[in-house]
Structure 1
Amino acid sequence: MANAIMHSTMLLLLSGLLLAIFKTTGAEVGVCYGMKANDLPPAAEVIDLFKQKGIKRMRLYDPNPDALQALGGTNIELLLDLPSANLESVAASQANADQWVEDNIKKYNTVNFRYIAVGNEVKPTDSFAQSLFPAMQNIRTAIVNAGLGDQIKVSTATFFAAIDKSSFPPSKGSLDPEYQKLLGQVITFLRDNQAPLLVNTYPYFSHIGDPEHVPLDYALFTAPSAVVQDGSLQYQYLFDAMLDTFYSALEKAGGVSVDIVVSETGWPSDGGQATSVDNAMTYNTKLVQHVNQGKGTPKKPEKAIVAYLFAMFDENEKEPAYEKHWGLFFPKKQEKYSISFN
């Protein structure tokens, strides 16, 4: 009996330890470092700000040399975009892809690259859409040939326009037929290479698009109880419902084993409907708390959420007005509101 109790105690301790490790290494919130502004601080100061705030992941929308130089040796995990403007060139030849990896990855060998997003929110109607899949293949080959295939996962960043409009509740999630054509091979590629799909996930846009059926508290993580019942699953937070809708769509498209990384999420503080500093603070703070709990979503409770908040700074060269106000910080590096990443 004593041995059985000791054995049970050891198992409990071990499971607690594993859960603690899982929470600290799996669930994590990064921040997107956008640069569409003419008043931002130098990249080296921005990287210092990431370190001061304890932000351990960054998304960078193009291989900016100053930012990559400053990231060297910091251990900040980087999600780096290969901009959509480069898709046709990289898809055209393996040599072009090899050169891109040489110039933007291998050259910065002390940067902790984690993901490459080949294109951002590519639409089926884009002139370069047919270059998406071959560009991903060529970049993956270049990464493997550089000896980095185990370290760096090659993916693309998509968004909720890819989801069919009849996708409610989350278990009914499916891809829009045109996006199915665009992303079908991509999903197989991700599955075969154990790489996640990157998804830009914005409850803000869902709320302002249909405020009658998408309540503000549901979008802001402040609903007092479940809002959506989906079979045995309950959804108190729209963020979780959106994620699980995409998981359902992936399953139907042959990507049962494909994980999702939330490559952008956030809330604007000014410039449009339902924008305020208070709403932005509420959403972003509660998103960090939700991710750090390590509980996953109702459909995927075992999968720690990885998410990148958009964005580090307000960006004054973006349009329309609300696009200028997503920053956690003003360009002078003052915090817009207090937020902890720990």
Structure 2
Amino acid sequence: MGKSCSVDKCCIMHSTMLLFGLLMAIFKTTGAEVGVCYGMMAKDLPPSAEVIDLYQQKNIQRMRLYGPDEAALQALGVTNIKLLLDVPNQKLESVATSQGNADQWVQDNVKKYSSVNFQYIAVGNEVKPSDSFAQFLFPAMQNIRNAIVGAGLGNQIKVSTATFFGALEVSYPPSHGKFFSEYQQLLGPVINFLRDNQAPLLVNIYPYISHIENPGEVHLDYALFTAPSIVVNDDRLHYQNLFDAMLDAFYSALEKAGEGSLDIVVSESGWPSDGGQDASVDNAMTYNTKLVQHVNQGTPKKPGKPIETYLFAMFDESDKEPAFEKHWGLFFPNKQEKYSISFN
């Protein structure tokens, strides 16, 4: 009796461990991978090959690169890091007005690096209706998509653009999210294009900016994921952090624009460690750590749906303005970590 009981216990323990392992495997394959943006607006940054090594050492499996960089692309080619590559705003007119220029851009910056794991091309970043190049956004996206398909990469690489929270006229409560009419005009054809090509919209989301612009109403703990209880009740949806509220406001705006089925990839989010109100190493560590822990939970509007997210940024960038823009890095330019953060 005693012996058989011991065998049963072993079987139960073995089965439990197998089940646990299976669940972990499921979570690992279905969870969101958090990437990090690799900005280069500083003169004191390490060589690209060392930066890519640092990504690998820290198990950072996704990268956003704000424009083609030969050294970075060559170094990425011997890794499996998934890449989001930008067509910079200053290139929009060139690729929009000539399919040949778009084809050449893809040939020089994508096709040439066949071993790089390209995932997305972001055609433009935070293009505003008032920008002189705004008229070129949609045709640039069309031509880059045509070039990607022509290069035989249409099934591998999604073409999108990165917009930002300033596009919303209404964001509170999240269910009332709505685009400004001028952004609706700019993004309307873009949203239809994304739907037709089954590509996500890229959105830069910064609770830090919302907090410092209105600290009296947008409290620090709500922005930092540290609020002890529900802060915003929106009908049957309840919000304990601002990140979720901002993301769901964007989903609501897409619904009102007729494309509620679109996915959103958060192409930038982070917190500065110096240079501005409530900018500190402690707050940056709190925000980024809790964001990494949070992304697999989804939002109240889309619970359990992992949120693909890119932290901004790998390094401090001394050439940026104003002061707080210089201090978003997870690392100092000498590759020293500001604080410990896990990407597992």
TM-score interval w.r.t. the shorter chain?
over 0.9
| Corresponding residue for residue 311 of structure 1 | 313
Distance 1:176 1:20 in 2: 43
Is the Cα contact below 8 Å between 2:62 and 2:82 reproduced in 1?
yes
| Corresponding residue for residue 111 of structure 1 | 116
1:332 to 315, 334, 340: 334
Q: Measure how far apart 1:254 and its partner are.
A: 1.7
Distance 1:149 1:32 in 2: 24
1:224 to 228, 232, 236: 228
> Alignment identity in percent?
77
Q: Measure how far apart 1:73 and its partner are.
A: 2.4
Distance 1:23 1:192 in 2: 29
Is the Cα contact below 8 Å between 1:170 and 1:248 reproduced in 2?
yes
Q: Measure how far apart 1:155 and its partner are.
A: 0.2
Q: SS of 1:234's equivalent?
A: strand
For residue 275 of structure 1, what is the amino acid of its counterpart? A
| Corresponding residue for residue 10 of structure 2 | none
Q: Measure how far apart 1:17 and its partner are.
A: 4.6
Distance 1:134 1:261 in 2: 22
Note closer, same or farther for the CA distance 1:232–1:159 as it changes in structure 2 (3 Å cut).
Answer: same
Note closer, same or farther for the CA distance 1:72–1:172 as it changes in structure 2 (3 Å cut).
Answer: same
1:174-213 correspondence runs (5 A): 174-213=178-217
1:67-86 correspondence runs (5 A): 67-86=72-91
- Describe the superposition over 1:154-180 as per-residue Cα deviations: whole angstroms up to 9, x where unpaired: 00000011001x331000001111100
Q: Measure how far apart 1:14 and its partner are.
A: 8.8
| Corresponding residue for residue 140 of structure 1 | 145
Q: SS of 2:288's equivalent?
A: helix
Unaligned regions of 5+ residues in structure 1, if any?
Answer: 1-9
Distance 1:191 1:16 in 2: 36
Is the Cα contact below 8 Å between 1:97 and 1:138 reproduced in 2?
yes
1:265 aligns to 2:260 (yes or no): no
Q: Measure how far apart 1:15 and its partner are.
A: 12
| Corresponding residue for residue 299 of structure 2 | 297
Q: Measure how far apart 1:301 and its partner are.
A: 1.2
Distance 1:231 1:146 in 2: 48
1:249-264 correspondence runs (5 A): 249-264=253-268
Q: SS of 2:178's equivalent?
A: coil
Is the Cα contact below 8 Å between 2:171 and 2:246 reproduced in 1?
no
Q: TM-score, normalised by structure 1?
A: 0.93
Q: TM-score, normalised by structure 2?
A: 0.93
* Runs (4+) off by over 6 Å: 13-16
| CA-based RMSD | 1.6
| Corresponding residue for residue 56 of structure 1 | 61
Q: Measure how far apart 1:22 and its partner are.
A: 4.9
Is the Cα contact below 8 Å between 1:53 and 1:341 reproduced in 2?
yes
1:320 to 313, 319, 322: 322
Unaligned regions of 5+ residues in structure 2, if any?
Answer: 1-14
Q: Which has the larger radius of gyration?
A: 2
* Aligned residue-pair number: 328
Q: SS of 1:213's equivalent?
A: coil
Is the Cα contact below 8 Å between 1:23 and 1:304 reproduced in 2?
no
| Corresponding residue for residue 157 of structure 1 | 162
Note closer, same or farther for the CA distance 1:327–1:276 as it changes in structure 2 (3 Å cut).
Answer: same
Distance 2:91 2:225 in 1: 37
Q: Measure how far apart 1:18 and its partner are.
A: 7.0
Q: Measure how far apart 1:255 and its partner are.
A: 1.4
Distance 1:289 1:325 in 2: 22
Note closer, same or farther for the CA distance 1:15–1:152 as it changes in structure 2 (3 Å cut).
Answer: farther
Distance 2:221 2:297 in 1: 20
Q: Measure how far apart 1:304 and its partner are.
A: 1.0
Distance 2:144 2:252 in 1: 28
